[in-house]
Structure 1
Amino acid sequence: MEKAVDQNLSRLFADLDTGVLLDLGIILAVAAVLIVSTQKALPWLANRLRGRRRYLLLALVPLLRLIIIVGAFLFMVPKIIEPSFQNMVAVLGSLGLALGFALKDYASSLVAGIVAIGEAPYRNGDWVEIDGIYGEVTHVGMRALSLVTPDDNLVTIPHLKLWSGAISNANNGSPQLQCTADFHLHPAHDAAGVLAALQDVALTSPYLAFDQPIAVVAQEQPWGTRYRLRAYPIDARQQFRFTTDLTVRGKAELRRLGITFAASSTAPDPEPTAG
């Protein structure tokens, strides 16, 4: 029986002589150089572009890495294993079974990573919110993605979240990203004047993308009226400067018009005094 097992193994694997080992080393070296080159060259070039071309170039990074890895694997397998149908079925079946039991979550993240590259719920350069974490996607790996938050924190999130959680994408591969500035006003005011003033505030912002719409939405609340000024900056990375500009200049313009802001009515009750 041991002889039969040895014979099966000998039929499964090819002879690993010096030439085969040299070929494997060359394949690995070429794949590593190509991956490192694309991960450094494409983001460097993309950061010197603007608009949609920057996002399209950044989105190529994970796709090219996946192509390189799959290509290297396809070149290496025939050199290690005798290329027969039975051998390939046996090896791939054993590999899948081992990954399924030993690395279930990791394998699930890898599969989700491949799905993420295909379906593109997020790409490099997108601003997304996952599990309450908001930031710009800077890297989409095979197992996880990396994003940088507005506080400049690098957060790594496994693609496994794709199966179980909602993913909010603010710009979805586009340079256009809607920003909102909130204003809470006392109910006694001229609503038409407020709408016109906030429209002018948006139109005079140096960050405004003029080819995108501007909207002012009003909503009555028990404490007053909430206005939401919605507009688009020229570049998604300007969103916080744009929102700050709208808020500061909008507040100044409303005060100039003599409009009173709503006061909070949620102050805590005074503590009882002893006596």
Structure 2
Amino acid sequence: MPTPIQVQPPMGRRIIGRLLAPSLIFAILFFVSFAIPEAFPSEGRDATVRYAVQILVWFVGAFLFDRILKFFFWEGIVSRSIEGPPPRLLVDLTTILIYVLGITGIAGIVFKRSLTGFWATSGAVGLVLGFALRNVIMDLFTGVAVNIDRPYRIGDWVHIQGRTIAHDLRGQIAEINWRTTRIETEECTLVVIPNSLLSTMTVTNLWSPDRKTRFETKISLDHSVPVERADRVLTAALKSVVNNPGFLADPKPHVLVDAVSEMGVEYTLRYWVTPWDGTAPAQAKDIVTRAAIAHLSHAGITPAYPKNDLYIGKMPPARHLDSMSLGDRRSLLEKVDLLAPLGIEELEQLAGKMRQVPCIEGADLITAGDPSLSMFILVEGLMEVVSFRTGEPRVVATILPGECIGEMAFFGGMPRTSSVRAATGSVAYEISKDDLNELFDRNPAVLERISSVLAERLEERDRRIALEARAESLEPTETNGRSAAQILTKLRSIFRK
């Protein structure tokens, strides 16, 4: 059965219903008390009646003024401005102030008593009561501050963190009164927190400035799962749940790599919901976690779990690259594709000759225009290739550890065409022309194997330069395709073999 719609009566009828009776009573009493003073003598038994009527005038007047203030100010102006009910605590304080002023008027005007002693006595009593009820007063003023500042309102969902509660608290603000704030939790329990205690806690309003809130959950995967694959599977899981009630497609959900631990790589799954407006945060987390597990299962990936890998073998002599170790230097050369044709003995011979070159950030390792007398292998740090082809210096490539530097100009016998600058503090190894001459003297066949690798590299470089020229609308640079035989002839002339 549909809920009937409550229709507010017209403004005029509401005014008459709430203000007419007290206004008439006040007018009659006022007229009888002050307009016809002879009706009640000031002495004798009738004086009691006179005092009673005047006291009623003050109390009815206070009641009428309080009702007018509530109707026009609190329920009218204030309710429209905040788009909700007026703060109950401030309304009650206003009522108390009005009645205190009424009692003061009775003492000073009806009984013609001096108010100095009254206020002095009230001040002394107030000090005693203030000391005795300091916690209550602190709750009261904190409640006033909350009603004025309005960090949260009745009906808002909040997350409360503090040292005085055993665990974080989530719930909906049910009431803010004189001393306490009442919060209804997700477990349908009512938590009552004194206002002064609540002011020492961290309160997060999950419905302000709007009801859109970001939540997250974490999941760990094994180190063997590539990050790109994990991101693809988990992102698909997040996007598959955005059509559920309470979930938002915009802002988009996304996956972050949060940490790396002994157990695996920890991923953070971030998603946006309107909490308790379609789904609760715990329910949303359950939906996201179930979706992630399902997508990982279909991809053949299981979440990480604690494990120990046991290897039995000889402990390696060093756990990092030793610049003085011939074996470590040879391992470094084995990773260079240009030197792949070399055998173990040849690599060890070359490793014994190359020199370590440190380079501070911003310094040039290679300068454009200089002769090519050596090549380098970057071991640590990051370097940038700076081209002057368009007239202005421009970073065209980044060199990572393990990559060669200046090898094409070196084997081509050409001056340097670009500069190479250290983007961070870096360490490289230098292989000079004399080092290779000694190697080629012992094994001339190495030249033939290197020339084949160079032919493939030059063909790839020429193709890349042509693509860059077309993309920048420049005149294409002439590139002469060279065979391995031509490159071998060139290398023999450079190294005089």
Query: Would the TM-score normalized by the shorter structure come out above 0.5?
Result: yes
CA deviation vs aligned residue, 1:72-97 (integer Å, no higher than 9, x gap): 22331232113698478547634642
Residues 203, 99 of structure 1: alpha-carbon distance in 2 compared, 3 angstrom cutoff: farther
Q: Which residue of 1 aligns with 2:211?
A: 175
Q: Which residue of 2 aligns with 1:208?
A: 247
**1:197 corresponds to 2:220:** no
Percent of residue pairs bearing the same amino acid type:
20
Q: Which residue of 2 aligns with 1:9?
A: none
Secondary structure, counterpart of 1:178 in structure 2: strand
Distance, in Å, in 2 between the alignment partners of 1:156 and 1:165 is 14
Gaps of 5+ in 2: 1-49, 75-81, 109-113, 309-497
Q: Which residue of 1 aligns with 2:79?
A: none
Secondary structure, counterpart of 1:201 in structure 2: helix
Secondary structure, counterpart of 2:145 in structure 1: helix
When structure 1 is superposed on structure 2, of 108-117 and 185-194 the one drifting more is: 185-194
Secondary structure, counterpart of 2:171 in structure 1: strand
Secondary structure, counterpart of 2:248 in structure 1: coil
CA displacement at 1:128 relative to structure 2: 1.8
Q: Does the Cα contact within 8 Å between 2:184 and 2:190 map onto a contact in 1?
A: yes
**1:103 corresponds to 2:145:** no
* Structure 1 stretches of 4+ moved >6 Å: none
> In the alignment, residue 304 of structure 2 is paired with which amino acid?
A
CA displacement at 1:144 relative to structure 2: 1.2
Secondary structure, counterpart of 2:250 in structure 1: coil
> In the alignment, residue 104 of structure 2 is paired with which amino acid?
I
Secondary structure, counterpart of 1:164 in structure 2: coil
Secondary structure, counterpart of 1:17 in structure 2: helix
Q: Which residue of 1 aligns with 2:333?
A: none
Distance, in Å, in 1 between the alignment partners of 2:209 and 2:124 is 39
RCO higher in structure (CA 8 A, sep ≥6): 1
Secondary structure, counterpart of 2:213 in structure 1: coil
CA displacement at 1:22 relative to structure 2: 7.3
CA displacement at 1:265 relative to structure 2: 5.8
> In the alignment, residue 17 of structure 1 is paired with which amino acid?
A
Q: Does the Cα contact within 8 Å between 1:213 and 1:231 map onto a contact in 2?
A: yes
**1:73 corresponds to 2:92:** no
Q: Which residue of 2 aligns with 1:233?
A: 273
Q: Does the Cα contact within 8 Å between 2:254 and 2:269 map onto a contact in 1?
A: yes
CA deviation vs aligned residue, 1:147-186 (integer Å, no higher than 9, x gap): 1222222111111124433334444352122222221222
Q: Does the Cα contact within 8 Å between 1:81 and 1:87 map onto a contact in 2?
A: no
> In the alignment, residue 223 of structure 1 is paired with which amino acid?
M
> In the alignment, residue 160 of structure 2 is paired with which amino acid?
E
Distance, in Å, in 2 between the alignment partners of 1:193 and 1:85 is 82
Residues 152, 16 of structure 1: alpha-carbon distance in 2 compared, 3 angstrom cutoff: farther
Secondary structure, counterpart of 2:63 in structure 1: helix
Q: Which residue of 1 aligns with 2:145?
A: 115
Q: Does the Cα contact within 8 Å between 2:159 and 2:171 map onto a contact in 1?
A: yes
Secondary structure, counterpart of 1:245 in structure 2: helix
**TM-score (norm: length of structure 1):** 0.69
Gaps of 5+ in 1: 1-14, 39-55, 267-275
Number of residues of Structure 1 aligned to a counterpart in Structure 2: 229
Secondary structure, counterpart of 2:284 in structure 1: helix
When structure 1 is superposed on structure 2, of 234-243 and 253-262 the one drifting more is: 234-243
Distance, in Å, in 1 between the alignment partners of 2:118 and 2:212 is 47
Q: Does the Cα contact within 8 Å between 1:184 and 1:227 map onto a contact in 2?
A: yes
Distance, in Å, in 2 between the alignment partners of 1:196 and 1:253 is 10
**TM-score (norm: length of structure 2):** 0.40
CA displacement at 1:21 relative to structure 2: 4.3
Residues 178, 19 of structure 1: alpha-carbon distance in 2 compared, 3 angstrom cutoff: farther
CA displacement at 1:16 relative to structure 2: 6.4
Q: Does the Cα contact within 8 Å between 1:137 and 1:148 map onto a contact in 2?
A: yes
Q: Which residue of 2 aligns with 1:187?
A: 223
When structure 1 is superposed on structure 2, of 172-181 and 143-152 the one drifting more is: 172-181
> In the alignment, residue 201 of structure 1 is paired with which amino acid?
A
CA displacement at 1:139 relative to structure 2: 1.8
Q: Does the Cα contact within 8 Å between 2:206 and 2:275 map onto a contact in 1?
A: no
Residues 123, 264 of structure 1: alpha-carbon distance in 2 compared, 3 angstrom cutoff: farther
Residues 73, 201 of structure 1: alpha-carbon distance in 2 compared, 3 angstrom cutoff: same
Q: Which residue of 2 aligns with 1:141?
A: 177
CA displacement at 1:110 relative to structure 2: 0.9
Q: Does the Cα contact within 8 Å between 2:104 and 2:115 map onto a contact in 1?
A: no
CA displacement at 1:252 relative to structure 2: 0.5
Distance, in Å, in 2 between the alignment partners of 1:74 and 1:216 is 57
When structure 1 is superposed on structure 2, of 209-218 and 162-171 the one drifting more is: 162-171
Q: Does the Cα contact within 8 Å between 1:16 and 1:80 map onto a contact in 2?
A: no
**1:127 corresponds to 2:158:** yes
CA deviation vs aligned residue, 1:111-146 (integer Å, no higher than 9, x gap): 111122223343321322143323222222221111
